[in-house]
Amino acid sequence: MTAGSLDGVVASKEILIVCGSGGVGKTSIAAAIALGAASRVGGKVLVITIDPAKQLASALGLEEIGNSESRVPDSAFKEAGLTPRGELWVAMLDMKESWDSLVLRHAPDAETASKILNNSLYDNITSRFVQSHDYIAMERLFEIHATGTYDLIVIDTPPTRNALDFLEAPHRMAEFFGGRLLRWLTAPYRAGGGRGARLVNFASKPFYQVADRILGTQFLQDIAEFFLNFQSMYDGFVARAQVVERLLHDRRTTFLVVTTLESAPLREAEIFCGELTKREFPCGALITNKTLPESFTAEAGAEAGAALIANAHRLAEVLAETGVEALADSAIDERVLRTVGESFGNFSVVAAREAELRVELQAWIEGELVNVPSLDADIHDLSGLAEIADHLFT
Amino acid sequence: MLGEPDGSEHDLHPEELLRGDHETAQEPLLPELLKKRLLVITGKGGVGKSTVTAGLALLASDLGKRVLVVEVDAKGDIASKFEHPPVGFVPVEVHPNVSVLAMDTEASLREYLRLNLRIPVVGRIGPIARVFDFVATAAPGVKEVLTIGKIAWEVRESIAGRAPWDLVIVDAAATGHVVAQLGAPDAIKDLVSVGPIRSQTEWMTDLLADPAITALNVVTTPEEMPVSETIDLVARARSELDVPLGAVFVNRVLPELFTRAEESAFEALSGEAVRSQLESELGLDLSDGVESVLSGARLAVTMRRSRAEHLSDLRAAVDLPMLYLPYLFTRSHGVRETRVVADALSAEFGL
């Protein structure tokens, strides 16, 4: 099987959206792609991460920086034995800060903005809003792309329970603000003259009847008041959500789906790739991450493993005579030889299954199928990311 | 501290990092876990939460318990781990004595209205549910309360003998969301000063806080992110929740290949001279293979070592009983895997 690579994708696209279910290594892959692009292709490359592991953040020099972009120094490249051809920039997505600036931009006046920002429901709502994290990520992507500062932007997507959520995010955000439901909920207030008005038709509508039974009148009023203010941002939000959605459909944008070869993430990745196709979003590559090295499926290895076990006793006696101190005890040597052979056999079972799955994936995937084997250590610096990049590019 | 670990850590053998004192100090606590009525299982995405949940359910059913598994994210994973098609809000027996229900907040609302407020909502829940969905999205805690409410209700009914379950196991939301979920009945009291929902949540809080009934458990793997999320979660659960903590399930622990003496022998085996002697003993045609086998074993040893370091961080930061589940070298992802996990859990529980 020929190994796929991201060479073509990186050479032809401007925006790479890295997605996949939780725990598959999206963030490391996104960072490695950006590093690979900066050190192989050149230009200005930005990676936007969401919630990097501490060691990865430190590898990228991300400890001090916040929502704004900062450049990974050339010294970090040199320490890792790399020569940058271009510039690598990183930014971390701060949800709270991004939301605040969104409100400030779209609110009709400073008073409304401050009413929204100071409402006790604001934090709670923005952190749970219909796919709010997804929307914020897309919004920020748009904002940065529009500045024309970067040749390539790689964005890590938020951990969602459903990878599809952020495809829908701009649309849902627009729908949410334009929806009948929001009008319905806030209608009694607008009709009654805004703040403090009583819910005139309260008892007549089944919704209010039910909602009042569950939540209580006061709580409902608090919510409605908040949304009344929030709704003043409608036009700005909807217009923006539409442009953001167009950017996702642009031919310069492509999606990269990351998965491990475990059943649950793989199933999710398959569903996600199918949905991308259905919605006419381009899928540039499927990246299978944390797989076992192909050496475990080598025929020669299986033979050698079996031979080590079968001849363990005889070999151990030879080893004990070599004069190497650590090998002096032939009983220990024999156990080691057996263990080594058995361990290989164990991993081979898993590696064989993984190889089989990759063949199946190759049959239906439209873009490239790229494989990244498990690294035996954590990522401490750029060289760890460079090792991943070596598998992503040829 | 984020650079290379210093030499002293390398000198520690993985065996010592891994085992520590858990067998002696924590042993008596563990079977207690299976006597609870409600086990909530959380963990970072991708660590094998559903696998552990399914294994635990199978083990409990082996012990003669009637188990209800509640799948909160409703991806259909649990049923598939018993080779059963996805289930809905009505519990379905997917294996003898193991029933599964998938959480559905709309169905939960309907049930809640029927049971608690005596509002019959037949058929025409559609428009109301859409509006409700909107309010629930906006109003913090409402969806969570409906989720927790349904779970707590099943537990309360089973304790009263009106539902058949001896144990309810929840495949809960991931670490990022579970605190908000379990804290919802309590949080809503701060937001809603009066109203029926307030009184309706008090019994849930009591049930969740009862250490004889409830335990919150975390699944992790010995890797950086899952371990740091587990440490954060345990700290947050202690400070923000009144829910007793149970155990940490450490999943995908790689086997210990070598004792210290064996590891020295293995190191010597990889030396150039020794290896070529080994190869010539076996016949030259196998030399590539021998190299693959040795590098395979080396990968297993180093992977385990870096994992052991994360595990020792976890053990230093979290004083909960730990159960270790092996990395599974199986072909299957279905009921066969669930069986292997159940057996491994049984051994860890000392049963």
What would the pLDDT profile of B330-349 be if each residue is shown by its tens digit?
777 789 999 999 999 999 98
Compare all CA atoms of chain A with the CA of B302 and give the residue at the minimum distance: A376
The residue behind tokens 């605040």 is: A100
- Rounded to the nearest angstrom, the minimum Cα separation between A17 and chain B is 20
Please, is A251 exposed, middle or buried when counting C-beta atoms within 10 Å of its C-beta (0-12, 13-18, 19+)? exposed
pLDDT higher at B300 or A221: B300
pLDDT at A266: 87
Residue B215 in contact with residue B247, Cβ under 8 Å?
yes
> How sure is the predictor about B319, in pLDDT bands with cuts at 50, 70 and 90?
very high
Residue segments in chain A with a per-residue pLDDT below the cut of 70: 1-2, 55, 61-67, 120, 124-132, 159-167, 169-170, 172-220, 222, 376
B135: in domain: yes
B3: in domain: no
Half-sphere exposure of A38 (CA within 13 A, CB side): 30
User: Is some CB atom of chain B closer than 8 A to the CB atom of A309?
Assistant: no
pLDDT at A83: 85
Average pLDDT, stretch B312-328? 94
Rounded distance, CA B128 to CA A232, Å?
25
B284: in domain: no
Residue A56 in contact with residue A31, Cβ under 8 Å?
yes
Measured in whole angstroms, the distance separating CA A289 from the mean position of its chain's CA atoms is 13
pLDDT digits (tens, 9 = 90+) for B229-270: 999 999 999 998 999 999 999 999 988 889 889 999 999 988
Quick check: helix, strand or coil at residue A49?
strand
Point out which residues pair with A373 in neighbouring strands. Answer: A291
DSSP A286-339: EEEEEEPPGGGG-HHHHHHHHHHHHTHHHHHHHHHTS--GGG--HHHHHHHHHH
DSSP B314-344: HHHH--S-EEEEEPP--S--SHHHHHHHHHH
N-terminal to C-terminal alpha carbon distance within chain A: 15
CATH number, domain of B214, equals 3.40.50.300
Compare all CA atoms of chain A with the CA of B120 and give the residue at the minimum distance: A210
Point out which residues pair with A285 in neighbouring strands. Answer: A256, A368
Compare all CA atoms of chain A with the CA of B222 and give the residue at the minimum distance: A378
Which helix (H) or strand (E) segment holds residue A370: the answer is strand A368-373
Give the closest residue to A256 by CA, choosing from A279, A280, A287.
Answer: A287
pLDDT higher at B170 or B257: B170
Q: Return the amino acid letter for A191.
A: A
For residue A22, give the nearest of B45, B193, B300 by CB distance.
Answer: B45
pLDDT at B191: 60
B295: in domain: no
Inter-chain residue contact B258 with A336, CB threshold 8 Å = yes
- Share the mean pLDDT of chain A: 82
- Token pair, residue B334, equals 């279905």
Residue B310, pLDDT > 70, answer yes
Half-sphere exposure of B108 (CA within 13 A, CB side): 24
pLDDT higher at B29 or A272: A272
User: Is some CB atom of chain B closer than 8 A to the CB atom of A304?
Assistant: yes
Helix-then-strand count for chain A, H and E: 18, 8
Give the closest residue to B168 by CA, choosing from B97, B63, B68, B62.
Answer: B68
Backbone angles phi, psi at A100, to 5 degrees: -60, -45
Give the closest residue to A284 by CA, choosing from A347, A369, A355, A216.
Answer: A369
B340: in domain: yes
Residue B22, pLDDT > 60, answer no
pLDDT at A162: 59
Inter-chain residue contact B277 with A54, CB threshold 8 Å = no
Average pLDDT, stretch B108-129? 63
Q: Which residues of A touch B121 (CB under 8 A)?
A: 210
What's the number of domains chain B is made of? 1
- Token pair, residue B259, equals 């004792």
B30: in domain: yes
ipTM above 0.95, yes or no: no
Indicate which of A116, A128, A207, A214 best probes the interface with B, i.e. most B CBs within 10 Å of its own CB: A214
Compare all CA atoms of chain A with the CA of B226 and give the residue at the minimum distance: A23
Inter-chain residue contact A130 with B258, CB threshold 8 Å = no
pLDDT higher at B128 or B141: B141
Indicate which of A162, A219, A329 best probes the interface with B, i.e. most B CBs within 10 Å of its own CB: A219
A23, A324, B213 from A249: Cα distances, Å: 27, 65, 51
pLDDT at A138: 81
pLDDT at A203: 43
Q: Return the amino acid letter for A181.
A: L
B269: in domain: no
Measured in whole angstroms, the distance separating CA A346 from the mean position of its chain's CA atoms is 31
pLDDT at B195: 58
Q: What is residue B5's DSSP assignment? A: P
Residue B302 in contact with residue A376, Cβ under 8 Å?
yes
Give me the domain span that covers residue B203. Answer: 21-256+319-348
B308: in domain: no
